[in-house]
Structure 1
């Protein structure tokens, strides 16, 4: 994937048009339209809150936990949507690939940018709830651009890799659904990290193992920097610098592998679809 190609005016215009088209088609024929990008995570949050907070008593013991839960669900919704539509985007845009010659990664980016728009709408909703519940923002919000960049890079690397596999093997879509369910329950989205504090795997704290997952690390970092810096643990407070850098390095490795695999096969996409 040649980075300088992205700055080509023709490619930027194509990317803009694809993002606009993707976002319009997503809510075409829907009575509520773009409001669904807000309502879906809110409804999911309501179900999770009643089941896991009210009935199962999952909480970190602070009044901010419902907002922390909502933020986690919004971030997870972006990750699942971005990687799922990214995985399917090359096959879904097969008609364009056969007619126009352009960098194929633009299709991946356009599908992900549409998901990114929904994420930032959700973040605004989270901020509104946070303000009304008395959450005070700190200087840590300055780290948020880096946190969101890492989340996007992770989703991009996975999307590049999966979209290439999906062209060859449609079964990848079903396998990935199962993987997403496993990851969802293995990272602290609906439960606080302290819930697994007493568990050990081969003598190592389950907390430390979970936080090596870039998804868990990013979600916890954003929660920490935006909503609850005191009650939300991150890798930076759980180990040394090397430990904290592991999930970031994993993110970079995933992007590199995804980009290399995508570039190696992208010229054959039109023939294979």
Structure 2
């Protein structure tokens, strides 16, 4: 078994080195020239949370009245910012690195993976802030916290799959960037982040259950449930009385990731020529 791991490490050593360097470079370039630098990884979701909290919670009363809703809103904002950033930057990653593809030979998927991993670092910093704030915002930390990494991995796989599909399409169709911006906006309002699910389930219980089957909403709600509030945050497991229907978002995530890998590998050999 040890020999197998050694052979795999030797085979992919160059790819791992390139991946690490691209992650470090991409993350540093995001904040190059800014006074606060990497602090924006934390400040951006905090500022967005502040705007949403004042407008939707304080003025429009988009709240379920539970003590953990504000911290749940902050957590949802961080998670959505990750998905939005990872897919949007992953979309442009191949085109932005076209000069590198023509000069250096390495697996092209590393570029997309490195870009999404940079967003993952920002998410990690954001979740640290969420956990710290949670101690002052009535968060309920239980044994379910151990389940959170699995949901984060699921959300990352979904973002990576979408980013691979979008990056492939963007090489040939530049209009996809503008289309995705509109789609992202629609997806944002389809996920119960700025409003509680109870606002929908009160009048449209079936619609609320369908919303939880969204492969983006499901891991976000699971993370908020397991990390902050098992008592107040509903999930697909608590709202749908079935053993197989809650598995649909997981299957959808797998299909999207597999489709992204397939489309990217099928077209990646021609990227340098097209660019």
Question: TM-score surpassing 0.5?
Answer: yes
Shift of residue 94, structure 1, vs aligned partner: 0.3
Give the TM-score of the pair, scaled to structure 2.
0.95
Number of the residue aligned with 2:37:
33
Shift of residue 208, structure 1, vs aligned partner: 1.1
Number of the residue aligned with 2:260:
258
What are the equivalent positions in structure 2 for 1:75-224 lying under 5 Å apart? 75-200=79-204, 205-224=206-225
Q: Is the 8 A contact 1:64 1:228 kept in 2?
A: yes
Q: Is the 8 A contact 1:5 1:11 kept in 2?
A: no
Shift of residue 63, structure 1, vs aligned partner: 1.4
| Comparing 124-133 and 76-85, the one that deviates more | 124-133
Rounded to whole Å, the distance in 2 between the matches of 1:136 and 1:212 is: 25
Work out the number of aligned pairs and report it. Answer: 267
- 2:244 counterpart SS class: helix
Equivalent of residue 243 in structure 1, options 242, 245, 263: 245
- 1:258 counterpart SS class: helix
Shift of residue 241, structure 1, vs aligned partner: 1.6
Unaligned runs of 5+ in 2: 1-7
Number of the residue aligned with 2:233:
232
Rounded to whole Å, the distance in 2 between the matches of 1:242 and 1:68 is: 27
Give the TM-score of the pair, scaled to structure 1.
0.95
Q: Is the 8 A contact 1:198 1:205 kept in 2?
A: no
Number of the residue aligned with 1:23:
27
Cα deviations by residue, 1:214-260 (Å, 9 ceiling, x for unpaired): 11111100000000101111111122121110011000000011110
Q: 1:60 to 1:163 in 2, by over 3 A?
A: same
Rounded to whole Å, the distance in 1 between the matches of 2:191 and 2:57 is: 16
Q: 1:61 to 1:21 in 2, by over 3 A?
A: same
What are the equivalent positions in structure 2 for 1:37-56 lying under 5 Å apart? 37-56=41-60
Rounded to whole Å, the distance in 2 between the matches of 1:28 and 1:187 is: 32
Q: 1:130 to 1:271 in 2, by over 3 A?
A: same
CA RMSD between the two structures? 1.3
Rounded to whole Å, the distance in 1 between the matches of 2:87 and 2:248 is: 22
Rounded to whole Å, the distance in 2 between the matches of 1:48 and 1:158 is: 26
- 2:35 counterpart SS class: coil
- 1:214 counterpart SS class: coil
Cα deviations by residue, 1:128-171 (Å, 9 ceiling, x for unpaired): 10012242310101111110010000001001101000000000
Q: Is the 8 A contact 2:42 2:126 kept in 1?
A: yes
Q: 1:47 to 1:81 in 2, by over 3 A?
A: same
Q: Is the 8 A contact 2:221 2:235 kept in 1?
A: yes
Rounded to whole Å, the distance in 2 between the matches of 1:223 and 1:73 is: 11
Q: 1:244 to 1:190 in 2, by over 3 A?
A: same
Number of the residue aligned with 2:3:
none
Q: Is the 8 A contact 2:78 2:123 kept in 1?
A: yes
Number of the residue aligned with 2:274:
272
